[in-house]
Structure 1
Amino acid sequence: MPDLASLTAAQRRKAKLLYLNYPNNPTGATATREFYEKAVRFAYDNEIIIVSDAAYAALTFDGETPLSFLSVAGAKDVGVEIHSLSKAYNMTGWRLAFICGNELVVKGFAAVKDNNDSGQFAPIQKAGVYCLQHPEISVKTSLKYSRRHDLLVEVLRSSGFPVTKPKASFYLYAAAPRRIKNGPVFHSAEDFSEYLITEKLISTVPWDDAGAYIRFSVTFPARDAAEERRLMAEIKHRLADVEFIF
């Protein structure tokens, strides 16, 4: 989570918006109520608007419960929250979402949107209504992702990756190895991600913005838990002939 206290007075005066994203993409990190409380005080003190991107908020597991920024006292006075049906309801590509919170910020966003695009296709809106009336869809999806994370963490640890299961989202953020024993050296996460796709046919997303990391995803197609286990066993098999040095 960002260290708000590290910002200088000049930086705080210049800032107009604080953008938060929890559960986080790409790390899968979750925010705490204490952090949100600090963020609200920070926004009050510095006259900054907070935009909380909560696209993954419903996808939590292992005792982690969804936490809305707007549930913190004073949050509705300083910010808004964005929710998407893409993640929690598997409607990726249909671009259906909503924004809520501070009235003036919502009105400002609505004015921009009104001049930027038009309404979504009506049947998609009706599908969205059905989704929001059936939150058990998200619960079922969360259980699936949690189960797949357990499998993926086991496979990656067996190959030497120092990974920890996240408490939310369908991403697993992992440090990229520096090299392979008696093999190639990786100067960046992009190097390693390219190696995985070309040599092992394993698709990942590289992140070199804050160290060398790669992002796995558990959104692969599988009919049931048995097929999930078979796919993970295949990943383990493809990685079994190399020793990664971290």
Structure 2
Amino acid sequence: NNFLPDLDAIPDDVFRRTKLMILNYPNSPTGGTAPKSFFEDVVALAKEKEFVVVNDAAHIMLTFDGKPTSFLEVPGALDVGVEVHSMSKGYDMIGWRMGFVAGHPLVVKAFSDVKDNSDSGQFIATQKAAAAALDDDSIPERIRTKYRRRMEKLVKVLRDCGFEAEMPGGTYFLYTKSPSGTASGETFAASEDATRFLIEENGIVTVPWDDAGSFLRFSVTYIAEDEAAEDALMAETAARLSGAGFQWKS
């Protein structure tokens, strides 16, 4: 269902006990995005069933399939929920543990009360750096452009090597169907076997996110000084993958 929950399939007895619905769009790690119409349905449902909505929007600044869509831009969303943001993804502050929550004032206050009694806040210099970053719209745009460019290059390389690869909606992860074996006789009963083969024989890391089933996970978070370095890395990736002779079950 394009990584969207089927809201109509949730039984009424579940809704009667529901206090909170947690969403995650753009979704990590699948890259799935939610259309505005889905958020509109969630808002209407939250008002009808009387529960709070929290959308984890950590990857929103890396949206590739159009303008980033915030849950809070939907009419009525401010009446039922909040959105949680991270400085890690769109501002390259990974490890700084900086973010913010916005939305319904009472829910934000409740969150603030919990924070006041559970920790002492981040080092003030990192808070000021985050505030300065939020004042510069060029930063997330530059980072989004970089990751989109890298993702497009990776998708092309994988397709040229026989993989089924599509641009994700918004993330720096890319899931592709795992090969079932190689032309030389290797067989892979699960994606973990293909992952191990890629690491040991090709020096390519595609570590699945927990149990990824029959999929491999690539990422474009590699270190490269410039586009020439990116292209060189992609050329090397293509050379290693094309020589492996991967095969897929139809």
Output the TM-score relative to the length of structure 2.
0.92
For the residues of structure 2 that align with 1:31 and 1:80, how far apart are their CA atoms?
Answer: 16
Structure 1 contact 190–207 (Cα < 8 Å) conserved: no
Q: Does residue 75 of structure 2 align to residue 49 of structure 1? A: no
Change (3 A) 1:76 1:128: same
Give the partner amino acid of 2:218. Answer: F
Q: Does residue 19 of structure 2 align to residue 16 of structure 1? A: yes
Change (3 A) 1:193 1:70: same
Show the 5 A alignment for 1:166-245.
166-207=168-209, 209=211, 211-245=213-247
More off after superposition, 103-112 vs 139-148: 103-112
Q: Identify unmatched segments of 5+ residues in structure 2.
A: none
For the residues of structure 1 that align with 2:27 and 2:205, how far apart are their CA atoms?
Answer: 20
Give, in angstroms, the shift of residue 42 of structure 1. 1.6
For the residues of structure 2 that align with 1:162 and 1:146, how far apart are their CA atoms?
Answer: 18
Q: 1:113 aligns with which of 105, 112, 115?
A: 115
For the residues of structure 2 that align with 1:31 and 1:159, how far apart are their CA atoms?
Answer: 30
Structure 1 contact 189–207 (Cα < 8 Å) conserved: no
Q: Identify unmatched segments of 5+ residues in structure 1.
A: none
1:38 counterpart residue number: 41
Change (3 A) 1:183 1:50: farther
Q: Does residue 29 of structure 2 align to residue 26 of structure 1? A: yes
Deviations 1:73-105 (A, max 9, x none): 111111110011100010000000000111221
For the residues of structure 2 that align with 1:43 and 1:6, how far apart are their CA atoms?
Answer: 15
- Say which SS state the counterpart of residue 21 (structure 2) adopts: strand
For the residues of structure 1 that align with 2:129 and 2:80, how far apart are their CA atoms?
Answer: 32
More off after superposition, 178-187 vs 76-85: 178-187
Show the 5 A alignment for 1:88-103.
88-103=90-105
Give the partner amino acid of 2:175. Answer: Y
Structure 2 contact 59–90 (Cα < 8 Å) conserved: yes
For the residues of structure 1 that align with 2:226 and 2:210, how far apart are their CA atoms?
Answer: 34
* Identical positions, percent: 48
Output the TM-score relative to the length of structure 1.
0.93
Structure 2 contact 161–241 (Cα < 8 Å) conserved: yes
For the residues of structure 1 that align with 2:179 and 2:16, how far apart are their CA atoms?
Answer: 40
1:135 counterpart residue number: 137
Deviations 1:47-85 (A, max 9, x none): 2211101111112236x1111100001111111100111
Give the partner amino acid of 2:51. Answer: I
1:104 counterpart residue number: 106
